[in-house]
Structure 1
Amino acid sequence: MIGVPSYHAIAAMAVTIAMFVGFARGKMSVEIISLLTIAVIAVGLYFFPLPDTKPTDGLTTAFSGFGHYALITICALMIMGRGLVVTGALDPAARFLERVFKLNGQLGLLLSLVVAFLLSMGVNDTPVMVLLLPIFVQLAARGGMASSKTLIPLNAAVLIGGMATTIGTSTNILVASIAVDLGLRQMSVFSFTPIVLVSAIFALPYLWLVMPRMLGDNRVEKTHASRRFETRLRITENSILNGRELSEVFSRLPAEIEFGDVPLGLLRPNQRLRMSGTHEAIEEASRILRGDTAPSWVLDRIKRRSDESRVDIAVVEMTVTVDSRLIGRTLPSSGIADLYGVAVIGIHRPDRILGEREIPLEGGEQRFAEGDVLLVMGLPDDLQSFARADSLLILEGMRELPRRSKALLAGGIMVGSVGLASVGFLPIAISALAGAILMFVTGCVKFDRVGRALSAKVIVLVAASIAIGKIILDSGAAEWIGGVMALGLQHLPPAAALAAIMLAVTFLTNFASNATAATVGTPIAFAIATRLGLPPEPLVLAVLFGCNLCYATPIAYQTNMLIMSEGSYEFRDYIRTGVPLVLLMVTTLSIALVVTYGL
């Protein structure tokens, strides 16, 4: 007979439910609800401490999440992901996926889901998602499918793949180890892979076709057409245009790029081509063609000063005001590069007011006029000096160029960190921290830019979830829930019992932690098997699968929280998309277990 839970257990369950309701309603921010949850736990345990503890021990329980290795790991992974983005290390993968998505968006998403599923079967879930996350964020920035529509489905595919082998997640290893200690046979790596593959066949169409439609689009709509800049592309010795005609490579260039007055015949070094396009298109075209959009001596000087000062190169848009000394001058006669050490890489000339006099050309060069917008590259201080001295108005915030010289280094750090964690040589927490430190030491990520990599919402949410998981376990709430579950399952048929165990463990996973669910659920599964006269292995697998069905809340698993900020997700997005997936997986996995074990 199960007794009444202690008042601490009742309070722990009440706080958990209140937090869930607060998140689901969405009337208060995630940060406020998380901090309130931590505060309630701290104050409650101070005045009503757990048995055999001091009032101040409650403060340790409430605030332990801020120093927990899981939070430190997530922050380190975010920093490494930032290093991949700012160095442009993921550009090749993003460009490949961009081509696939442009060819067929649905085909691109399906390919991505299958790759994520297969990778996570052999590599721990977290490193796989860390590798994929910045690629899909960058893909969205390049005009692909919105990150809000891809990250939750991608994360779900990773979690399902990780469930398929004993090495897919640390939770699988934990459940298998506890089961062996309790007398179950040692499972091989692929012992239950066929069962998960059957469920994945049903889950994949949902992830691919249904889930993206349930998610919003977090792309910012442009309220005006992008500015088109005119530039002169200088053909260098290393340019792919050297000795070729433009028509041979034109198909590889962005659609926004246009050329004017293209000379006939083969192109040679030092020739200049009139080119126009958006800022992003010009940057991509010059990278593909390996040409310069400003004199090489200017660009070399900017890069050299950047290396010496360890300051990133930036590009900014500036408009010529009525007081500017540039009005009436041409770019060569302005002396901008000599005076300020910056390079004008493009000029946008807005439509003139009817009747406004155009300033004539000089030697084929257009003279600057009021209202012209310059695309200027240089170091931040030099750009500011140029704007102040020549009466230019900065239109948009500075955009830092990727530090491509460190792209291979950043990629190597990430691969090394993920590889060491994947083969079990180092815990993910240690390898992620080591990787983050190397990102700092090598200059892939600057110390003063760490704030851009981290999300305050994710940090306080992780801290609150760790505190909730700890109080659920320490108060006896988890043990009481397990006892009630064991008592009620003895009257159910095997398939229903498996589904109920899986759902109960899933509940614990989504509101406490998968480690807690594994620790509490595995012994309960053995006890239930004994009571019902069933083999323990399918019930243990029901616990293992339930521990991995962490789709319904962002606090259920660290990858859920990793994608929260980048996908601009709310708590309700996880509930709306995750609950149907949980029900689908529970149903198919339970049936597959019954058929496999002949129950």
Structure 2
Amino acid sequence: MIEIPSYHAIAAMVVTIVMFVAFVRGRMSIEIISLLTIAVIAVGLYFFPLEGHKGIDGLEIAFGGFGHYALITICALMIMGRGLVVTGALDPAARFLERVFKFNVQLGLLLSLLIAFVLSMGVNNTPVLVLLMPIFVALAQRGALPASKTLIPLNAASLLGGVSTTIGTSTNILVVSIAVDLGMKEMGVFDFTPIVLMASLVALPYLWLVMPRLLPDNTVVNEAEMRRFHTRLRVAEDSALVGEDISTVLSRLPKNISIIDQPSGPIQPQQRLLLSGTHDALEDATRVLKGELAPSWVLDRIKREASSREQDILVVEMTVTADSRLINRTLPTSGIADLHGVAVLGIHRPDRIMGEKDQYSENGDLRIAEGDVLLVMGLPEDLQEFARSDSLLMLEGARELPRRSKALLAGIIMGVSVFTAAVGIFPIAISALAGAILMFVTGCVKFDRVGRALSARVIVLVAASIAIGRIIDESGAALWLGQTLGLGLQYLPPAMVLAAVMLFVTVLTNFASNATAATVGTPIAFSIAEQLGLPAEPMVLAVLFGCNLCYATPIAYQTNMLIMSEGSYEFKDYIRTGVPLVIIMVTTLSVLLVLRYEM
């Protein structure tokens, strides 16, 4: 016979349910709901302290999450993930993926899913998805699979990879840390990786072959083309073009590149080729052909200034107004580089008016006209001074150039941090914190940009989740829920018990917060294990897995929302593709846990 729970336990469950409902309704932001939850716990426990506690002890329970080592670890991993993104350390994988897609679409999709899966094992899946998502959108514009058929599978693959290690997602770290607080031994980084890999052998074919067929084609008809910029590529001494005829190297160039007035005869070092292409295509061309879009002395000066000022290099688009002194001038005669220390990489002008001869100088350089859009590279202050002095309108959407000189260093820091945690040299909290500090010290991540790496939403949500988890546990609510749930599960086989717990947590994580579901579900699973005489580790893993099966709703995880606008998805798209995947994973993981722990 189960006793009636205490008033504190009832209050803890009510606060938790109210928080879940508030998340689902979405009328207030996650940050506000999280802070209100912390405030309610703090005030409630101050005036109505737990048995054997003082009022001041309630404040430690409510606000202790902000100093919890799990939150520190999560923030450190966010910083290291930011370092990989801003240095371009992940770009080689992205470029390789694009080449494979050009060879075969289905093979490209399979490899992209595998890359997202593998990268997310050691890096938070959010920066991985941010890196790969533009590639899929661009490939869709070039006639490959529509973005609406690829982004949900890509997101699901990154979530699968994240669940395979303790550092793959912040939720994993949270579950493991709570389990350690409850008395279970700490898990290693790769302790449960084989289980997830085996389950993924069943899930990945569904992502690759079935899920794209369940998604609609949301391609926008007559979508506006990206701006094409006209420029001159300066052939370097060690370029692949030197000594070859231009017709033999056309196949190496990106599809969005056009060569205007193709030269005859072998190409010579320092020869200038007139090109037209999108910004991304021009960047690819400079990398493949080892050329420059501006004089090398200008680019070298910008890089030196960026290093001495410790600033990032930006590439922005600027529109030429009617008052600009640049009108009717060419880039060589404008003196832009000497006066302002910036480099103009190209000029955009509608193709329909590009054929007029008087638009070019005697040397074949394009004369700048009102309404042209200049693609300009430089430091922030220099770009603003250039726009102000020469009457240019700076457009939105400035891009920071990756600090590629730090890419290898950022990759080494991440790799060493993961390795030292994986082999048990240091706890993950220490190795991640050391890695984050090294990212700052070495300049891979700038301290004044740390706000871009950290998410205030994640921080307050994790803090509130830790507070909820502690009050659920210390009030006796977890024990009571475990006893109640255990009554219904005591006659079921272990596989069904694990599946029930996993499915229960999965429902919570798809309609509320996976972090909150983790902090509530972990002590409940621990209690059920004690009640039924089952080992605690597989029960905790059932919670960990369930918290990451957030495929069925767009509100379940931040990357679900991230892809929603790019893929023009509706709520039903997530349900149609996510529910079957949840069923596959719950069934497979439950059986594998039973076999692994011989239950």
TM-score range, shorter chain: 0.7 to 0.9
Q: Which residue of 2 aligns with 1:88?
A: 88
Give 1:176 deviation, angstroms: 12
Matched, 1:11 2:11: yes
Q: Which residue of 1 aligns with 2:548?
A: 551
C-alpha contact 1:260 1:274 (8 A) present in aligned 2: yes
Gaps of 5+ in 1: 121-125, 164-168, 530-535, 555-559
Could you tell me whether the CA contact under 8 Å between 1:553 and 1:575 is conserved in 2? no
Shift, 1:4, TM fit = 0.7
Match of 2:134 in 1: 141
Code of the residue aligned with 2:376 in structure 1: it is V
Counterpart in 2 of 1:478? 478
Structure 1 residue 141, shift from structure 2 partner: 2.0
| Residue number in structure 1 paired with 2:444 | 444
Structure 1, 261-270 or 218-227: larger mean CA deviation: 218-227
State how 1:37-186 maps to structure 2 within 5 Å: 37-104=37-104, 106-114=106-114, 128-130=122-124, 133-142=126-135, 143=138, 149-150=152-153, 152-158=155-161, 161-162=164-165
Q: Which residue of 1 aligns with 2:407?
A: 407
Q: Deviations over 1:239-291 (max 9, x none)?
A: 12122233443323221100012222321101110111111211221122110
**Counterpart contact for 1:245–1:265, Cα < 8 Å:** yes
Match of 2:525 among 521, 526, 533: 521
Secondary structure at the aligned position of 1:366 is classed as coil
Which amino acid in 2 is paired with 1:25?
Answer: R
Deviation at 1:221, TM superposition (A): 11
Secondary structure at the aligned position of 1:276 is classed as: strand
Structure-1 separation of matches of 2:16 and 2:448: 37
1:228-243 superposed matches below 5 A: 228-243=228-243
Q: Report the Cα offset of residue 13 of structure 1.
A: 1.5
Could you tell me how far 1:328 is from its partner in structure 2?
2.2
Cα drift, residue 397 of structure 1: 4.2
Contact 2:465 2:519 in 1 (8 A): no
Tell me if structure 2 keeps the 8 A contact 1:330–1:362.
Answer: no
Contact 1:12 1:475 in 2 (8 A): yes
State the Cα RMSD in Å: 4.2
Q: Is the 8 A contact 1:2 1:484 kept in 2?
A: yes
**Is the Cα–Cα contact under 8 Å of residues 458 and 564 in structure 1 kept in the other structure?**
no
Distance 1:67 1:222 in 2: 52
Write the deviation string for residues 369-397 of structure 1: whole angstroms up to 9, x where unpaired. 22222212222222222222222221234
Quick check: 431-440 or 487-496, which moved more? Answer: 487-496
CA contact (8 A) 2:257 2:281 kept: yes
TM-score (norm 2): 0.81
Superposed, 1:193-592 pairs within 5 Å as 199-208=199-208, 224-350=224-350, 358-359=358-359, 361-492=361-492, 496-497=496-497, 499-500=499-500, 503=503, 521-522=525-526, 524-525=528-529, 527-529=531-533, 536=534, 541=538, 544-552=541-549, 563=559, 576=575, 581-590=581-590
Larger mean CA deviation between 511-520 and 389-398 belongs to: 511-520
| 143-152 vs 63-72, which moves further | 143-152
> Deviations for 1:431-468, whole angstroms, at most 9, x for unmatched residues?
22111111111111112222222222222222221121
Q: Say which is worse superposed, 50-59 or 268-277, in terms of deviation.
A: 50-59
8 Å CA contact retained: 2:506, 2:550? no
1:398, CA displacement in angstroms? 2.9
1:105-158, CA deviations, whole angstroms, 9 ceiling, x for partnerless residues?
5544444545666x59xxxxx75243x543432121233557952564124422
The range that moved more, 443-452 or 84-93, is 443-452
Please state how far the C-alpha of 1:161 moved relative to its aligned partner: 4.0
Residue identity matched to 1:548 = F
In the alignment, the residues of structure 2 paired with residue 463 and residue 598 of structure 1 have an alpha-carbon distance, to the nearest angstrom, of 36
Question: Structure 1 residues 462 and 518 mapped into 2: Cα distance closer, same or farther (>3 Å)?
Answer: closer
The answer as to 2:30 corresponding to 1:30 is: yes
Matched with 2:169 is none
Q: Deviations over 1:317-374 (max 9, x none)?
A: 22222222222222222222222222222112236889x9955633322322222222
Cα distance, 1:293 vs. partner?
1.0
Q: Amino acid of the residue matched to residue 266 of structure 2?
A: L
Tell me the distance in 1 between the aligned counterparts of 2:592 and 2:455: 40
Aligned equivalents of 1:372, 1:360: Cα separation in 2: 14
1:418 and 1:586 map into 2 onto residues whose CA distance is 28
Contact 1:317 1:376 in 2 (8 A): yes
**CA–CA distance in 2 between the matches of 1:85 and 1:221?**
32
Match of 1:532 in 2: none
Once the two structures are TM-superposed, the CA of residue 231 in structure 1 deviates from its matched residue by: 0.6
Name the CA shift for 1:210/1:549 in 2 (closer, same or farther; >3 Å): farther
Alignment partners' CA distance in 2, 1:276 and 1:522 = 63
User: Structure 1: how far apart are the matches of 2:43 and 2:75?
Assistant: 27
Q: Distance in 1 between matches of 2:163 and 2:247?
A: 47
Secondary structure of the structure 2 residue equivalent to 1:426: coil
Give the gaps of 5 or more residues in structure 2: 140-146, 167-171
SS in 1 for 2:292: coil
- C-alpha separation in 2, matches of 1:418 and 1:443: 20
Residue type of the alignment partner of 1:481 = L
| Worse overlay, 137-146 or 213-222 | 213-222
C-alpha distance in 2 between matches for 1:177 and 1:8: 21
CA distance 1:420–1:501, change in 2 (3 Å): same
Contact persistence 1:149–1:216 (CA under 8 A):
no
Whole-angstrom distance in 2 between the partners of 1:50 and 1:270 = 78
Contact 2:481/2:524, CA 8 A, preserved across alignment: no
The whole-number CA distance in structure 2 between the counterparts of 1:267 and 1:578 is 54
**Percent pairwise identity:** 60
Q: Deviations along 1:176-223, whole A, 9 cap, x unmatched?
A: 999999xxxx99x99995x76665454334444566788999999997
Question: Which stretch shows the higher mean deviation, 512-521 or 478-487?
Answer: 512-521
User: Structure 2 vs 1, CA of residues 219 and 525 (structure 1 numbering), >3 Å: closer, same or farther?
Assistant: farther
Q: Secondary structure at the match of 1:4?
A: coil
Distance 1:568 1:419, change over 3 A: farther
2: CA distance, partners of 1:595 / 1:449: 47
SS at match of 1:45: helix
What SS does the aligned partner of 1:344 have?
Answer: strand
Q: CA deviation at 1:56?
A: 2.5
> Which residue identity is paired with 1:528?
L
Structure 1 residues 447, 216: CA separation in 2 closer, same or farther (over 3 Å shift)?
A: farther
Q: How many residues align?
A: 569
Q: Distance in 1 between matches of 2:12 and 2:213?
A: 36
Describe the SS at the equivalent of 1:549. Answer: helix
Could you say what secondary structure the match of 1:550 adopts? helix
Quote the Cα distance in structure 2 between the aligned partners of 1:333 and 1:372.
17
Q: 2:101, 2:280 → 1: CA distance? A: 19
